[in-house]
Structure 1
Amino acid sequence: MARLGIKRTRSHSDAIVSSSSSHGGAGKPHPVVKMCGITSARDAEMAAKEISRVARSYGAESVGVFVDDDEETILRVSDSCDLNFIQLHGDESRALVHTLSKNNRIVYVLNADEDGKLINSSPVLEYALDWFLVDSAKGGSGKGFNWQKFQMPLVKSKNGWLLAGGLHADNVCEAFSSLKPNGVDVSSGICAPDGIHKDPNRISSFISNVKSLSCRS
């Protein structure tokens, strides 16, 4: 399964591409790869083509990323964009998880400081959310945190958790080996030198390294 989404905050909208593939029947699925920060249709198409070379088959699902937006804004955007997932950043948005999770698929973001200590905690729920995502204290900064000191807390999740923060082709295998997440979220690690557009070679290298992990298992 591959995912193609839209990222939206109060100030702007971006395209996100994420990918994973799953095998029919028995066998371990490939890790999920979520590529965010894509700002043009050209970049989105390029990433989708790379995904298609890795996965035997893929679909597309939209992910709306909200940072401290209110419930009305989130639901309005989700409805107008026909979002498949709502990703919650910031205390204001995360506080709405009990309400929003009743009728929406949720990606709940946890943030860790430089030493790998969680800044916020997972919500107390009687049911499982779709995904948890662990990022550095300031998401989108391209900075990571101490993986050796980090310990993923017990959470109720249908699909597992995603790791974000300072990932690139040269350290993604180490990330999987150290923390064993169910997937990764990459942005600056696949950027061109201008820091805005995506680099096809970096995308290819990143995806290939993640794919190699599945081939070894």
Structure 2
Amino acid sequence: MIVKFCGLKRLSDIEMCNKLQPDMIGLIFAQSPRKVEKDLAKEMILAKSPSIKSVGVFKDQNISEVIEIATYLQLDFVQLHGKEDYKYINHLKDLGFKVIKAIEVERQEDITEAKRYTEIADFVLLDRPKGSSLDITEIAKFADFAYIIAGGITPENIDKYLNLNPVGIDVSSGIETDGFKDFTKMKKIIDKVNKYKVGETKNG
């Protein structure tokens, strides 16, 4: 199962990730309190363990800006959080970029919309609308395809997300204290996922 820690914005966040070894780290280039400038992002990517994949997060940005940043940073994945369509994604894929398409889901019909993107994106990520307190697990349980799940995951409630058996989990605010990444919370997430994997192996 993929573990992605998103919204990193300090070199010290990278140091913590190097100790914990999540599969992916997310750096945000869309408008957000967690947005990072590309030169700092470059330092962060150079400082990370080679085994950790880098993901750049964008939303409704001009595709030339996305290509420029992704090329400069040599990102492993481009994550799209807006209304980017098939043509937009295809263009990135044609240039050799791997794409994670994030879809905000509120209703069962949104799951059908999300499934369409499994044909073109490398991963589909199910998220709840920004600012929503929706229990996304109640919607995601209707998905009959592989997906990464985000939206409200914390060390305390991660079990109900893992029980859906997604291909990955994506955590940002749930591993923060006062707006900064918290090593203890990050470690709890890693430990919970590792425990879940062991259980899966035994049951499988």
TM over 0.5: yes
Deviations 1:138-162 (A, max 9, x none): 2xx484434234345455xxxx321
Structure 2 letter corresponding to 1:215: V
Structure 1 residue 47 corresponds to structure 2 residue 27: no
Pairing 1:63-142 to 2, within 5 Å after superposition: 63-92=55-84, 96-102=88-94, 103-113=96-106, 118=110, 121-122=113-114, 124=116, 127-138=119-130, 141=131
TM-score, normalised to structure 1's length? 0.70
Q: Is the 8 A contact 1:164 1:185 kept in 2?
A: yes
Structure 1 letter corresponding to 2:197: S
Deviations 1:55-107 (A, max 9, x none): xx971322111111111111111111111111111114775112212221110
Q: Shift of the alpha carbon at 1:202?
A: 0.8
Question: Which segments of 5 or more consecutive residues in structure 2 lack a partner in the other structure?
Answer: 23-48
Q: Which structure has more helix as a fraction of its residues?
A: 2
Pairing 1:174-185 to 2, within 5 Å after superposition: 174-177=160-163, 179-185=164-170
Q: Is the 8 A contact 2:118 2:124 kept in 1?
A: no
| Partner residue of 1:215 out of 182, 198, 201 | 198
Percentage of matched positions with identical amino acids: 27
Partner of 2:110, secondary structure, is coil
Structure 1 letter corresponding to 2:184: N
| Partner residue of 2:185 out of 190, 202, 205 | 202
Deviations 1:182-211 (A, max 9, x none): 11000111101x1x2111111111111111
Q: Structure 2 CA distance, aligned partners of 1:34 and 1:105?
A: 15
Structure 1 letter corresponding to 2:161: A
Shift of the 41–34 alpha-carbon distance from structure 1 to 2, 3 Å rule, reads same
Q: Is the 8 A contact 2:77 2:98 kept in 1?
A: yes
Partner of 1:213, secondary structure, is helix
Question: Which segments of 5 or more consecutive residues in structure 1 lack a partner in the other structure?
Answer: 1-30
Shift of the 81–72 alpha-carbon distance from structure 1 to 2, 3 Å rule, reads same
Question: Which ranges of 4 or more aligned residues in structure 1 deviate by more than 3 Å?
Answer: 92-95, 122-128, 141-144, 149-155
Q: Is the 8 A contact 1:142 1:187 kept in 2?
A: no
Q: Shift of the alpha carbon at 1:121?
A: 1.9
Partner of 1:90, secondary structure, is coil
Q: Shift of the alpha carbon at 1:127?
A: 4.9
Deviations 1:13-41 (A, max 9, x none): xxxxxxxxxxxxxxxxxx11100112111
Q: Structure 1 CA distance, aligned partners of 2:140 and 2:52?
A: 32
Aligned CA RMSD, in angstroms, stands at 2.7
Structure 1 letter corresponding to 2:98: R
Partner of 1:163, secondary structure, is strand
Structure 2 letter corresponding to 1:130: D
TM-score, normalised to structure 2's length? 0.74
